[in-house]
A and B are shown apart, each in its own frame.
Chain A
Amino acid sequence: MKKMKDSRTSSIVLHNGLIAVLALFWLIPIIWLVCTSFSAYSGMNTSTFFPKEWSIVNYQKLFHPDSVSQFPQWFLNTFIIACFTCVISTMFVLMVAYATSMMRFKMRKPLMNMAVILNLFPGMLAMIAVYFTLKSFNLTNSYVGLIMVYSASSGLGYLIAKGFFDTVPRALCEAARIDGCSEARIFFQIVLPMSRPIVVYTVISSFLVPWMDFVYAKMILNAGISSKYTVAIGLYKMLDKSLINSYFTQFCAGGVLVSIPISILFMIMQKFYVEGITGGAVKG
């Protein structure tokens, strides 16, 4: 009996040990990022994993902008773009999700099928043509153009929210309709308040888009004016061959500073995503 217990304990230890090794492996680059950001040396540390001298000078430098590094400005730019994108995208996603989930009309199925097809074509491909179009309207190198690119097609990402709305009990809406409640009021006063997890999920995920994106920003903000960059482009430019030796550790510090809020939001989003999915099933 005791022997069996021993073998079980050892297998548990082995099991968790394996996970720990994997987790360590996955975290090595992140650990390196954090350590390097506290290095006193400004170039890349190539001889040892941990910096030889520790200091917070890189963080201080980030908040004293020079011609290359204007981190606070970039952060503000990205934040503004993210706010607008967030509002527009959230509206679009929830609107499309409600219309396709709760209402019945002739074009519903054809529209949904079209959306499935368009969704499977990655937006990357239309990119150069979008660039042409924006350029002919003089919207390149402007935040308006970038916000439009991020949010205009966001309606296509309605499926998760629709899945949630599908689980809202029909009887509730029917009752409201019989009481003479308009469709718009059902949307705003009955369905939305019931759908908190999915609303939060949509808000966070659309807020994160400009923070995570690299391609579109690189393409549209191509004039090379440092003060107009987003965080992604600004940090990317720091690693230019001529700059990397004096800015690498600042890049790491900037990376850490961006990653902290983004990671926290990402975790919250995951939590609401799971809540949205499992919570929905319980209601149904």
Chain B
Amino acid sequence: MAAQEKNSAASAVGSLGKAIGSFFRDFGTAVVKGDAFVKLSLLWMGAGYAKRKQYVKAVLMTILEIAIIAFTVKFAMQYVPKIGSLGTVKMEKVFNMKTMKSEFNNYDNSFTILLFSLFSFVVWLAAAVVWFKNIINAYVLQKMEEEGQHINTFREDLKSLVEEKFHITLLTLPVLGVVIFTLIPILLLIFVAFTNYDQQHMPPTELFSWVGLNNFISLFGGGGLTTTFGYAFVRVLGWTLVWAFFATFTTYIGGILLSLLLNSKKTRWPKMWRTLFIVTIAVPQFVSLLLVRNFFSNGGIVNTICNTIGLTGFLRSIGLVSTSYIPFLSAPGWAHVMIILINIWIGVPYQMLIATGVLMNLPSDQLESARVDGATKFQIFRKITMPYLLFVTGPALITDFVKNINNFNVIYLLTQDVYTTTNQAMANSQAKEVDLLVTWLFRLTQDYYNYKMASAIGIIVFIICAVFTLVAFNRMIKGDKEGTYQ
């Protein structure tokens, strides 16, 4: 029972909560039991260190405190107070009597206000953590002094950064990178979804403001003029899920079959065959997909061949095609099927590689004993190989599904500029039948500057991913075999 509890997402969150709890408990004890200098540290962050003769650290802490205050006064205060309205002063040209030139007034930029307020919040949060931690450290030092233990000099502190505290040196930069380039953008995206940031409200010339849930309402089909967004959303979402399902399963099954075929004892020169298949994925996708798109274009080579062998005529006679060519990538239905087929071409070698790696690690003692016991090949496959493959690669199926929901390259490179929708309701909201949520989002931002709807769609994709992710997460932590080999 305990072991099971240890292995779930809920307990991961729980352990995090526990860590936070003990952090605040330590802080409380420090404030209550600390001496005057620990308490003084609440105001002057260097106090505790100065008392214990860690002067360099005291100076550094003081500088940090001043820096944070300066940051708050000089920088954050320009933006944070305006976050409620996101700015009120529009950009205007004013004639300046002194310089005899027309200049811009001191206008508000809604986007800068939003971004820098968010940035300030993150800095403050970090500062608060440092402040709490500082008090705890000051109390630890006090205790060490009372017990007569050795207190590190600054040089020793620095040295500890390549010794027992080496992990801090190692992790600082990578974590900072993730925070700035993954975490802050995600938060920003969430905020933008609740504003009316679009082409009519583009900073710096215009302001945008909070609109509450309006974007989500129009996305789910409410609200007068933008009902088409609701119409397009349902269709795009439906295709996204269908695509993700088929793309994941076809390549998964295809990859396993191909790897079994290649790893069979009957195969001559398995290495050569494997290399040939890998060539198709080693070519960058923007080359191979753009090429395939022209391969199957309306006036392309495949259409010429189909025409020559009479396939086009046959399809026209049974009513599947109404044009003089086969619209492989330019008509709904045809395009959907073709995209999934082309994805098999591009995805199966990947899965084959993964499955081959797993098959190589197949426990050979089990296979051996099964053979000694007289099991047939088919029995071995059904009872040993297949369960093992499923066990190892099963959780990855969910990750693949999430990846396919966001498989931008395949859809965008195959259909951009080629596929034009004839459905007016779709076109009104800049969507196409073959769009995934992410390609739609990309077009909305890149070509139509409709950031508010793009952000709302982004949040929906997040939620969908989060649901699948949590399932995968639970399984992945269970499958965590760290320490087995240590």
Q: Interface of A with B (CB < 8 Å)?
A: 11-12, 15-16, 18-19, 22-23, 26-27, 29-30, 32-33, 44-49, 92, 95-96, 98-99, 103, 105-111, 113, 116-118, 120-133, 136, 148-149, 151-156, 166-167, 170, 182-185, 187, 211-212, 214-215, 218-219, 222, 232, 235-236, 239-241, 244, 248, 251-252, 255, 258-259, 262-263, 266-267, 270, 274, 277-278, 280-281, 284
- B240-274 vs A: 1/0 string, CB under 8 Å? 00000000000000000010011010111000010
B284 touches A232 (CB 8 A): yes
B interface list, Cβ under 8 A from A = 12, 15-16, 19, 111-112, 115, 159, 162-164, 166-167, 169-171, 173-175, 177-178, 180-186, 188-189, 192, 258, 261-262, 264, 266-268, 273, 275-288, 290-292, 294-295, 297, 299-301, 303-305, 345, 349, 353, 357, 360-361, 399, 402-403, 406, 408-409, 412-413, 417, 438, 441-442, 445-446, 451, 454-455, 458, 461-462, 465-466, 469, 472-473, 476-477, 482-483, 485-486
Residue of B178, B283, B441 near A153 (CB, 8 A) is B178
Chain B residues near A133 (CB-CB < 8 A):
115, 184-185, 188
How far in angstroms is the closest Cβ of chain B from A284? 4
Q: Are B301 and A45 in contact (CB under 8 A)?
A: yes
- Contact B266–A16 (Cβ < 8 Å): yes
> What is the minimal beta-carbon distance from B271 to any residue of chain A, in angstroms?
11
Selected from A128, A274, A277, the residue in CB contact (under 8 A) with B458 is A128
Interface residues of B, dominant DSSP: helix
Cα of A249 to Cα of B290 in the assembled complex, Å: 13
A-B contact pairs, 28 of them (CB 8 A): A30-B283, A33-B287, A44-B300, A46-B300, A46-B301, A46-B303, A47-B304, A49-B305, A96-B170, A96-B174, A103-B167, A116-B476, A125-B189, A125-B461, A126-B185, A128-B189, A129-B189, A129-B192, A133-B115, A133-B184, A136-B111, A182-B162, A183-B166, A214-B412, A241-B417, A252-B291, A266-B282, A277-B361
Q: Could you say which residues of chain B place their CB within 8 Å of the CB of A15?
A: 261, 264, 266-267
Task: Report chain A residues within 8 Å CB of B188.
Answer: 129, 132-133
Are B182 and A123 closer than 8 Å at their CB atoms? yes
Inter-chain contact B181/A136, CB cutoff 8 Å? no
Q: Once the chains are docked, how many angstroms separate the CA of A216 from the CA of B111?
A: 21
Q: What is the minimal beta-carbon distance from A199 to any residue of chain B, in angstroms?
A: 15
Distance of B292 from chain A, by nearest CB (Å): 5
Complex contact B286–A118 (CB within 8 A): no
In the complex the two chains form, is A182's CB within 8 Å of B163's CB?
yes
| Distance in angstroms between the alpha carbons of A274 and B358 in the assembled complex | 11
Min CB gap A240→B, angstroms: 8
Name B305's closest neighbour in chain A (CB-CB).
A49
A58 to chain B, nearest CB (A): 14
- Chain A residues whose C-beta falls within 8 Å of the C-beta of B458 in the assembled complex: 125, 128
Whether B277 pairs with A232 at a CB distance below 8 angstroms is: no
Bound CA span A182–B130, Å: 27
CB pair A99 B282 closer than 8 Å: no
> Taking the nearest CB of chain B, how far is it from the CB of A235, in angstroms?
7
**How far is B163's CA from A127's CA once the two chains are assembled, in angstroms?**
38
In the assembled complex, the Cα of A156 lies from the Cα of B111 at a distance in Å of 29
Interface pair A251/B290, CB less than 8 Å apart = yes
Q: Choose among B15, B301, B469 the residue that contacts A32 (Cβ–Cβ < 8 A).
A: B301
Structural contact, A46 and B299, CB atoms closer than 8 A: yes
- Which of B276, B278, B446, B461 neighbours the largest number of chain A CB atoms within 10 Å of its CB? B276
Least Cβ–Cβ distance between A12 and chain B, in angstroms: 5
In chain B, what residue has the closest Cβ to A265?
A: B282
- Per the bound structure, the CA–CA distance linking A118 and B477 in Å amounts to 14
B287 cross-chain contacts in A, Cβ below 8 A: 33, 235, 255, 258-259
User: Which residues of chain B are near A18, meaning CB under 8 Å?
Assistant: 261
Interface-centre pick from A48, A107, A129, A259 (highest chain B CB count, 10 A): A129
Q: 3 closest Cβ contacts across the A-B interface?
A: A155-B174, A129-B185, A152-B177
Cβ-closest chain B residue relative to A169: B486
Rounded to whole Å, the gap between the CB of A251 and the closest CB of chain B is 7
B473 surroundings in chain A (CB, below 8 A): 116-117, 120
A44 cross-chain contacts in B, Cβ below 8 A:
294, 297, 299-301
Q: How far does the Cβ of A112 sit from chain B's closest Cβ, in whole Å?
A: 9
Chain B residues whose CB sits within 8 angstroms of the CB of A136 once the complex forms: 111-112, 115
For the complex formed, measure the closest distance between the CB of B340 and the CB atoms of chain A, giving whole angstroms.
Answer: 16
Chain A residues whose C-beta falls within 8 Å of the C-beta of B413 in the assembled complex: 214
> Do the beta carbons of A96 and B472 come within 8 Å of each other?
no
- Residues of A contacting B163 in the complex (Cβ-Cβ under 8 angstroms): 182-184
In angstroms, Cα B178 to Cα A118, docked, is: 9
Residues of A within 8 A of B279 (CB): 27, 30, 263
CA distance A185 to B162 in the complex (A): 8
Complex CA–CA separation, A241 to B299 (angstroms): 13
- The distance in angstroms between the C-alpha atoms of A131 and B111, with both chains bound, is 12
| Cross-chain contact B181 with A267 (CB below 8 angstroms) | no
Nearest CB on A from B222, distance (A): 24
A167 to B482, CA, bound (A): 10
A27 and B276 contacting across the interface, CB-CB below 8 Å: yes
Q: How far is the CA of A108 from the CA of B417 in the complex (A)?
A: 47
Partner of B111, one of A32, A96, A132: A132
Most B CB within 10 A of own CB, among A30, A49, A124: A124
Nearest-neighbor residue (CB-CB) of B280 within chain A: A26
Q: In the complex, A194 Cα to B235 Cα: how many Å?
A: 53
Q: Point out the residues of chain B lying under 8 angstroms from A156, CB to CB.
A: 178, 182
Interchain CB contact under 8 A, B465 and A120: yes
CA–CA, A33 and B473, complex, Å: 41
Tell whether, in the assembled complex, residue A262 and residue B283 are in contact, meaning their CB atoms are under 8 Å apart.
yes
* A267-B275 in contact given A18-B261, A30-B280, A215-B409 (Cβ < 8 Å): yes
In the assembled complex, which residues on chain A have CB atoms less than 8 Å from the CB atom of B268? 12, 16
Q: Which residues of A contact B284 (CB under 8 A)?
A: 211-212, 232, 258-259, 262
A270 to B162, CA, bound (A): 33
State whether A92 and B266 are in contact (beta carbons under 8 Å apart), knowing that A30-B279, A46-B301 are contacts in the complex: no
Complex CA gap A43/B180 in Å reads: 45
CB–CB A122/B465 < 8 A: yes
Give the distance in Å from the alpha carbon of A170 to the alpha carbon of B482 in the complex: 13
User: Which residues does chain A contribute within 8 Å of B476, judged by CB atoms?
Assistant: 116
For B275, the closest partner residue in chain A by CB is: A267
- How far apart are the CA atoms of A278 and B175 in the complex, in Å? 30
Most A CB contacts (10 A, CB to CB) among B283, B300, B408 go to B283
A26 touches B277 (CB 8 A): yes
- Report chain A residues within 8 Å CB of B451: 128, 132
Asked whether, in the complex, the Cβ of A12 is within 8 Å of the Cβ of B266, the reply is: yes
A235, B306: Cα distance in complex, Å? 28
Our pick among B182, B303, B399, B486 for the contact of A126 (Cβ within 8 Å) is B182
